[in-house]
């Protein structure tokens, strides 16, 4: 008896499954027939969905591209860098006179000795002085006295000649490197500048190289278009002191930058008067801020693209309502042949979803085609988000379900007797 019941239950389940499959295939066929019968109207209705889906993918792509560009730019400046700055405060001498409480090379040595994880460091002296460039010409130049490690700390690129090294620094060689715009302004090219001798306050300095920043910092760095770098030991000739206003450090691990910056700041403060003011500047905060700004912009633009999808959903609903009104007699005939409300509802809901999904697929493919084409045909790399494609397709289906429900319910609720009388 139990075996018979199990067989009957299995048979009924198989029958229900076959019936459901048959009903779905029939519903899909009717949706396709309806689409073929009104191609132009449905294509125009799909247009809004195509634009909305493509907008979602493109907006996310633009946001990712802008975010990546900003982060790459800032990272090229020095993501591992900690810049210690003196911002004010003074020491009071026995005579009551006050002098700035600048940092010293001893502070730099103390940091290197007591704080682990630091890769390199460089002090910086800033001097503004007129320079004789020959033929009686004088140019105002900003001299920065730095160590040979400054090149790696600031990620500088040498265009011609070489950067000064430890031997130059130890031997107090009067050499320097010039920023590219200054070399072009004075000598016409980077190569022509190498080997030239400038007179700085009567001190002859030989140009041994021309450098540039690897990325455009838009004026947000200590290097300007009139900068020349000298060994720190030589730059001291112009100041007569070993005090410095800024010291650069780089951490071995970018993850240690926030903690390392805090420890460096604490140590520097402990070596000076409490009234003196120092700050530890890192790229971490700027990187985080830029990432948040780019993400926020992407969210706003994506919301605008979603509004486009909602508007196109309203268009789908209007089109489906008009479709229901045009097919009242067909609905009546189907109901007279035994179609249930559920089947009628499913038919029109399938048409709405099919319409929106087709628009979503076409729009998503168009949106993805832009970054894929750029990546394949140009050396520029544009990041793509496959998640945005999934979101665009899911949203298009959701729009079809939401805005197709009302027309489907209206079609299902029509009275079969009245529909058969409809002309």
What is the span of the domain harbouring residue 224?
Answer: 81-282
Cα–Cα dist 21/286, whole Å:
57
**Does the structure show a pLDDT above 80 at 22?**
no
Closest CA to 128 of 237, 228, 210: 228
Closest CA to 317 of 401, 392, 397: 401
Q: Which two tokens stand for residue 384?
A: 């793509």
Residue owning tokens 């075996």 = 3
- pLDDT tens digits for 95-145? 555 678 888 889 999 999 999 888 889 999 888 777 877 666 777 888 899
- pLDDT tens digits for 164-176? 999 999 898 999 9
- Boundary-marking domain end, from 282, 315, 343: 282
- Boundary-marking domain end, from 258, 282, 306: 282
Whether 13 is in a domain gets the answer no
Region 242-271: mean pLDDT is 87
- pLDDT tens digits for 39-75? 676 777 778 788 888 888 888 887 777 777 766 666 6
Per the CB < 8 A criterion, the answer to whether 284 and 371 are in contact is no
Task: Spell out the residues 6+ positions from residue 67 whose beta carbon is closer than 8 angstroms to its own.
Answer: 290, 291, 294, 295, 298
- Boundary-marking domain end, from 282, 300, 333: 282
Whether 17 is in a domain gets the answer no
277 and 295 belong to one structural domain = no
Region 208-222: mean pLDDT is 72
Structural domain count, the chain: 2
pLDDT > 70 fraction of the chain, expressed in percent and rounded: 80
Cα–Cα dist 263/210, whole Å:
35
160 and 266 belong to one structural domain = yes
Rank 1-15, 24-38, 142-156, 238-252 by mean pLDDT and report only the highest. Answer: 142-156
Whether 123 is in a domain gets the answer yes
186 and 313 belong to one structural domain = no
189 and 294 belong to one structural domain = no
115 and 158 belong to one structural domain = yes
Closest CA to 162 of 170, 151, 172: 151
Q: What is the pLDDT of residue 161?
A: 92
Q: What is the pLDDT of residue 315?
A: 78
Q: Which of 216-225, 265-274, 291-300, 301-310 comes out lowest in average pLDDT?
A: 216-225
pLDDT > 90 fraction of the chain, expressed in percent and rounded: 12
320 and 200 belong to one structural domain = no
């Amino acid at each position: 008896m139990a075996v018979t019941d199990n067989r009957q239950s299995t048979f009924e389940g198989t029958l229900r499954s076959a019936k459901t499959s048959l009903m779905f295939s029939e519903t899909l066929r009717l949706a396709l027939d309806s689409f073929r019968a009104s191609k132009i109207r449905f294509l125009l209705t799909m247009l809004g969905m195509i634009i909305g889906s493509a907008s979602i993918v493109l907006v996310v792509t633009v946001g990712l591209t802008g975010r990546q560009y900003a982060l790459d730019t800032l990272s090229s400046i020095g993501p591992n860098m900690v810049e210690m700055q003196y911002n004010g405060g003074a020491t009071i001498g026995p005579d009551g006179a006050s002098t700035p409480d600048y940092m010293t090379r001893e502070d730099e040595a103390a940091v290197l000795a007591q704080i682990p994880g630091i890769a390199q460091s460089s002090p910086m002296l800033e001097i503004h002085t007129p320079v004789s460039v020959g033929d009686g010409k004088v140019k105002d130049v900003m001299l920065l006295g730095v160590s040979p490690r400054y090149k790696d700390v600031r990620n500088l690129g040498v265009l011609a000649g070489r950067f000064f090294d430890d031997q130059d620094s130890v031997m107090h060689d009067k050499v320097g490197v010039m920023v590219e715009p200054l070399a072009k302004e004075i000598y016409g090219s980077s190569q022509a500048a190498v080997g030239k001798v400038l007179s700085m306050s009567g001190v002859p300095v030989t140009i041994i190289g021309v450098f540039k920043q690897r990325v455009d910092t838009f004026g947000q760095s200590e290097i300007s278009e009139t900068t020349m770098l000298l060994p720190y030991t030589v730059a001291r000739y112009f100041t007569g002191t070993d005090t410095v206003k800024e010291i650069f450090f780089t951490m071995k691990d970018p993850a240690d930058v926030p903690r390392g910056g805090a420890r460096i700041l604490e140590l520097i403060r402990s070596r000076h008067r409490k009234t003196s003011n120092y700050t530890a500047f890192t790229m971490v905060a700027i990187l985080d801020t830029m990432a948040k700004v780019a993400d926020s912009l992407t969210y706003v633009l994506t919301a605008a693209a979603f509004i486009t999808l909602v508007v196109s959903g309203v268009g789908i609903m209007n089109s489906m309502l008009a479709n229901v009104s045009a097919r009242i007699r067909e609905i009546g005939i189907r109901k007279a042949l035994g179609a249930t409300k559920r089947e009628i509802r499913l038919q029109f809901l399938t048409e709405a979803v099919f319409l929106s999904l087709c628009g979503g697929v076409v729009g998503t493919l168009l949106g993805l085609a832009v970054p894929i084409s750029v990546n394949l045909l140009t050396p520029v790399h544009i990041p793509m988000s496959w998640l945005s494609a999934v979101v665009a397709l899911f949203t298009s289906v959701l729009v079809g379900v939401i805005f197709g429900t009302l027309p489907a319910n209206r079609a299902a609720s029509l009275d079969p007797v009245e529909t058969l009388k409809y002309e």
